[in-house]
Structure 1
C-alpha cells in the first residue's frame, strides 16, 4: 500500500472479510441488479441454477454482514451492525459457507458457459478458503492499530462515506447501528479475554498504538465527538421538532452509552490487555503460528507458494531493483554512493512540498496528465471519477501514506484518492507519479470501479475481491507508466523503483517477521538499508505487517503473475497481441484468484490463435 482499504477491507475490519467498492447506474436505495432467475413453472437450466444459487448466497451474505451491505449500496440493513464475533454469528457463517459449497457442487460446471465457469471456480474457491480460515482463532484479535472498527465507524458517521444521512429514517438507522456497535465493544473485550487465556494476543507495540487512537475519541463535550458529526450535517428540510429530537437522542446515546463504553475499551487495553500482550513480533510466536501464517500467505497471494520461496523471490527482487536505482544515481550525476543518494533524496528541501495543499494540488495536476494517456491503453474505463483528498486529521498519524476508497455504488460519490499530508517529508515529489498510478488511475480506481460497474455477472464477483489481484494490478499499473512515457524524468523513475522496492522488501520482511523469527527492529533496519523511505513510513509499514500478516506479500506476487501472463500472450500471439484486449481480459471479470486468472488468459490466447 501506501494503500487502499476498499469496501472489502473495511468489511474485514468490521468482521466481514482486505481491501475493500464502486459505482454503477443504480439509484440510491436500489439494491444491485440481481442475477435473473426462471419464472415459476419453468425448468431451470444449469446456468439459471448457478445464477440463482449465487444470487441467494449474496443476499444471505448481506443479511449476515449488514455493514458490507451498506457499502455495496443495499440499504435494507442500515440500522444493523452485525457483531462478527458472537457464537451465533460464527455458527451462521460456518453454515452459510458449508451449505453453499455443498449446493454448488451439485451443479455440473462443464455445462456452464465459459464466463460462468470462471465464476464457479471463484465461488468454490471462496467457500473453501473461508472454511479453512475458520480453523484459526482470528476472532480473538478483533482489532489492531491498522484495522480499527472504532475508526471505521467514525468514517461511516462522517457523512462522507457509505452510510446515508438524507432522511430522518437514515438518522434513526445510524442511531440503531451505533447501539449495535456499543454491544460489539463489550463483546470484543470478551473475545480478547479468551485470546489472553489462549495466548493469542497482539504484540505489545501494536497495543501501545491502539491506546492513543481510542483516547482521541474520548472528549469532554458530546458535541466535540466525531460520532456527533451527523447532527452537524442535518438537512435544512428537517422540521425543527425532528432536529431537536435527534439532537437530544444522539447527545444522550453518545454521552451516556457510547463514550463510557469507549472509555472502558481504552482502559481495558491500557490496564488489562497491554500487560498480557506478547513480546514476539511475528505470527510464529502464536500457537500453531507458522502453519497459520502459511495459510494467510496462501490466502492473500491466492497461491500455494511456500513462504521460504516467497522470501527468496523477495531477496532476488531487492537485488535487481538496487542495481536499477544505482543506474539512476549515475544518470543524474550524483557523486556519492547509493546510500548517500538515498539520504539526499530523503532530506534535501527541493524534493518536498512546504505546505499540505500544495501536495494535494500536485496530485490533481498529475491526474490530468495521466488521464490524457489512458485511452491509448484501455478499451474499458470506469464511468466513475475520483477526487484527491487529504487523510482526515483524526487518523492521519497512524494511516498509510496513501489509500483509495471506492465510489458509491449508486454514483452519488466519486472514488477518493487519499493522500496523507501529516508528514510532508514522507511524501517526496519524486514519488508522486508512481503513487498516483497505483492508487488512482489506472490502478485501484480502474480495477475496483470497473468491477462494480460490470453488468451480467453475479454480485459476489462485483463486490468481492482478492488482494493479490487488486494490488498486483495496481503495481502493474505503475509498470505501465513506463510505457505511457510518464517516467522520462529520472527522478520520477527512481520514485517508481522506490515503490517497487517497497513491494519487494515486503516479501522479505513479512516472511522474515512471521516465519523466520525476525524482530521489529530487524525489519526496520532491513528497510532502512535498502530504500530511501522516511523512518516514519518504515515504522508504520513494519507495524502494519505485524498486524496483518501475509497481506503485504500479495502486491509483488500478483504483479509478477500479471506480467508473466502478458509476456506469455505477447510471445504466443506475436503480431496478433493487442494490449488493450489483454487489459480487457484482466479487468472485465472482477477480481480473480491467480489460478483462475491464468485459466482465463490461457483460454483467451488459444481463441486468438
Structure 2
C-alpha cells in the first residue's frame, strides 16, 4: 500500500516534467493535456481523503500522504502547472474552453495559495476534522469482499495517516498557526468515542454488522475477524495517541488569539482565504460595510413579518418569544425528520416549474450521526443525502425548517451537486469540485425561491426565512469583525443574538465555526447576491423573453464556478436571447 503511494508521487514528478506545450499544438489541445494530466494526478494524490471517490468504483485502501515532503512536492507540481497555463494563448480557446480555463486556473491558484500558507498544518476546524473522514467512510455500505478487504487496509493505514497529521499540527503550533483554543472545548470527544469503544461497539465495525449475502459465510467470518484485528491493533491505538496529543499538547498550546490576521503573515493569509471562499478580491473593510448595510435592510423586512404575525412587542421580545415558546420546537426527532420530509416532498411538486433539467439522483433524509451531532450544523446536504440534526431539539426551531430544507436538499445542495456530476459535457474538474461562493450562494438563493414557491406558510415561517437571510448577512459582519477588526467571541455572539432568531446553541456552534474557519462564512451571502443581481440584470435586459427555467438551467449547467465566471455566462445568456443551454438537445 505504501509503495503504491510512493509510486504515485514519482509518477507525479514525471507527469510534471511532461507538462510541455508543443509549439505545434493548438490552444485547446494543449489546455486539455494540462488539465487531464493534473486532474488524474490530483485524484490519485487525494484518494481516500473523503467519502466520495470519482476516480474508481472500489473504495480507497489508503489515506493520502500528508507529510511535509509530499506537501512540498505538490507545491512544486502545481507551480509547474500554473507556468504551463501561462503559455496558453487564451484568446485562441474555443467553445467552453474559455470558461474551463478560468475555472481551472482559479482552482490551481487556490491550491497553490493553500500550499504557500501551509494550511495543511491546521488540518481541522470546529466544523470538520481529518479524524472524522474515516468515520464517514465507516458508515458507507460495502458491496463485496474486495470492498471489505480495501476497507480493512484503510483501517490499517490510520496510524500512518494520523502520525503525519500530528507532525503537521506540531509544526503549526510551533509557528503560532493553529485553531484558536477557545473553540476546542469538547472537540476531543469524537476522538475519545472511537478510542474508548471496544469490540463490535466501535464505529469502525459498522460495515461488518450487515454484510451482503453474496459473500459466503466463511469469507464473511474471516473478514469480520480481520476487521476486528484492524480495529484493535490499528484504529484504537491511533485514536488513543491522537486523543493524548489533543488533550495534553494541542488544546494546551493552541493560540489564545482569534483573528486570522493575528497568525504569521496573517493579513495576506486572510485575504487569500477571502479569495478562496468568495472568488472575489474584496477587502475585509468593504465586506464588513456591505454586511452592515444588508443587515439593516433585512431587519426592516423582519419587522414587517413581526407585524404580520400580530405580535405587539419589540423585536427583542419577539426573538425571546420564538426562542422560548415550546410550540415552535419539535417534540421528537421523528417529528423533525418527518416535517423535513414533508417540506421536501412539497418542493418535489413545484420544482419543475422553476428548473428544467433535474438530476436523476434522489436523496435520503437522515439524522446527523450521534457522535458528530453536538458540534454539527443544523443540517447538511449533498449528493444523495440531507442530514438533519436531531440533537438538542429545543435548539431546532420548526419555523426555520423550510429554509433549511430548501438550502440543504432541493433545490439546494442535494440538487445542484448531483446535477453537476451528471453533466457529462463538463470536464471532471468542474463536475466534482466545489467552489463555496457558487455552491453556498445557490443554496441560499434556493431559500429565496421558497418565497416564489409559496412554501413559507405563516408569518413565523417567513420570519424564519428572513432570519436565515439575516444569519448569512451577519456572517459578513462577524467574520470580518473577528478576523480583521479584532472582535471578541462575545461581541460576535451578541451580534448574532441581537439580529437573528438562532438559538443559543446554534449561535455558539456557528460563532466557533467562524472563528476556526476564516472567510468560509463570507461565501454564502456574496454568492447569493451574485445570482440575484445576475437574474435582475437578465430580467431587465430580456423583458418578456426572460424565462426563469432557462435562467436557472444556465446557472446550474456551469458546475461550480467563480462568481465572475457566472456573471460572464449570464451576459452571454442575455446576448443569446435568454435561451436554455439545453434548448438544442430538447428538439
TM-score (normalised: structure 1):
0.88
Q: 1 CA distance for matches of 2:301 and 2:338? A: 30
1:113 match: 94
1:297 match: 274
> Cα offset for 1:324?
1.0
Q: 2 CA distance for matches of 1:222 and 1:206? A: 32
Residues 127 and 376 in structure 2, CA contact (< 8 A), matched pair in contact too: yes
Pair 1:268-2:239 in alignment: no
1:542 match: 511
2:449 match: 480
Q: 2 CA distance for matches of 1:45 and 1:550? A: 39
The match for 1:224 among 198, 201, 219 is 201
Q: 2 CA distance for matches of 1:70 and 1:307? A: 34
Equivalent residues in 2 for 1:83-102 (5 A)? 83-102=64-83
The match for 1:175 among 152, 158, 173 is 152
The match for 1:158 among 139, 150, 157 is 139
Residues 437 and 524 in structure 2, CA contact (< 8 A), matched pair in contact too: yes
Pair 1:557-2:534 in alignment: no
Q: 1 CA distance for matches of 2:107 and 2:445? A: 24
Query: Residue 464 of structure 1 aligns to a residue in which SS?
Result: coil
2:582 match: none
Residues 298 and 470 in structure 2, CA contact (< 8 A), matched pair in contact too: yes
> Cα offset for 1:196?
2.1
Q: 2 CA distance for matches of 1:84 and 1:145? A: 23
Question: Higher mean Cα deviation, 75-84 or 129-138?
Answer: 75-84
> Cα offset for 1:51?
3.0
> Cα offset for 1:84?
4.6
Change (3 A) 1:301 1:79: closer
2:115 match: 134
1:350 match: 327
Residues 159 and 233 in structure 1, CA contact (< 8 A), matched pair in contact too: no
1:529-580 deviation per Cα after TM superposition (whole angstroms, max 9, x unaligned)? 1122110000000011112110010000001111111111111121221111
Residues 192 and 201 in structure 1, CA contact (< 8 A), matched pair in contact too: yes
> Cα offset for 1:284?
2.5
Q: 2 CA distance for matches of 1:179 and 1:499? A: 43
Residues 300 and 467 in structure 1, CA contact (< 8 A), matched pair in contact too: yes
Higher relative contact order (CA 8 A, sep 6+): 1
Residues 404 and 418 in structure 1, CA contact (< 8 A), matched pair in contact too: yes
1:33 match: none
> Cα offset for 1:282?
2.2
Segments of structure 2 that go 5 or more residues without pairing to the other structure are 1-23, 579-587
Q: 1 CA distance for matches of 2:409 and 2:428? A: 23
Equivalent residues in 2 for 1:192-203 (5 A)? 192-203=169-180
Equivalent residues in 2 for 1:343-382 (5 A)? 343-382=320-359
Pair 1:325-2:299 in alignment: no
> Cα offset for 1:515?
0.8
> Cα offset for 1:475?
0.8
Q: 2 CA distance for matches of 1:239 and 1:465? A: 40
Q: 1 CA distance for matches of 2:439 and 2:50? A: 21
1:303-336 deviation per Cα after TM superposition (whole angstroms, max 9, x unaligned)? 0010111111111111111111111111111111
> Cα offset for 1:112?
2.6
> Cα offset for 1:500?
0.4
Residues 51 and 136 in structure 2, CA contact (< 8 A), matched pair in contact too: no
Q: 1 CA distance for matches of 2:50 and 2:201? A: 29
> Cα offset for 1:44?
6.3
The match for 1:489 among 458, 463, 472 is 458
Question: Higher mean Cα deviation, 116-125 or 246-255?
Answer: 246-255
The match for 1:594 among 551, 560, 563 is 563
The match for 2:421 among 439, 446, 452 is 452
Q: 1 CA distance for matches of 2:185 and 2:201? A: 24
Question: Higher mean Cα deviation, 83-92 or 318-327?
Answer: 83-92
Change (3 A) 1:238 1:607: closer
TM-score (normalised: structure 2):
0.91
1:141-188 deviation per Cα after TM superposition (whole angstroms, max 9, x unaligned)? 12233211222211111134xxxx222211111111222222111112
Q: 1 CA distance for matches of 2:26 and 2:157? A: 42
1:355-413 deviation per Cα after TM superposition (whole angstroms, max 9, x unaligned)? 1101111111111211111111111111111121111112111111100131xxxxxxx
2:491 match: 522
> Cα offset for 1:58?
1.7
Q: 2 CA distance for matches of 1:513 and 1:61? A: 34
Residues 145 and 215 in structure 2, CA contact (< 8 A), matched pair in contact too: yes
Equivalent residues in 2 for 1:9-28 (5 A)? none
Query: Residue 365 of structure 2 aligns to a residue in which SS?
Result: strand
CA RMSD of aligned residues (A): 1.8
1:458-485 deviation per Cα after TM superposition (whole angstroms, max 9, x unaligned)? 1101001210000101111111111122
Pair 1:73-2:54 in alignment: yes
> Cα offset for 1:267?
1.0
Equivalent residues in 2 for 1:301-450 (5 A)? 301-406=278-383, 415-450=384-419
1:107-131 deviation per Cα after TM superposition (whole angstroms, max 9, x unaligned)? 3323332322101111112112222
Residues 79 and 174 in structure 1, CA contact (< 8 A), matched pair in contact too: yes
Query: Residue 243 of structure 1 aligns to a residue in which SS?
Result: helix
The match for 1:510 among 469, 479, 482 is 479
Change (3 A) 1:430 1:282: same
Change (3 A) 1:512 1:84: farther
Segments of structure 1 that go 5 or more residues without pairing to the other structure are 1-42, 407-414
Residues 280 and 519 in structure 1, CA contact (< 8 A), matched pair in contact too: no
Query: Residue 108 of structure 2 aligns to a residue in which SS?
Result: helix
Question: Higher mean Cα deviation, 207-216 or 354-363?
Answer: 207-216
> Cα offset for 1:499?
0.4
The match for 2:34 among 27, 48, 53 is 53
Question: Higher mean Cα deviation, 495-504 or 92-101?
Answer: 92-101
Q: 1 CA distance for matches of 2:83 and 2:553? A: 32
Q: 1 CA distance for matches of 2:93 and 2:173? A: 48
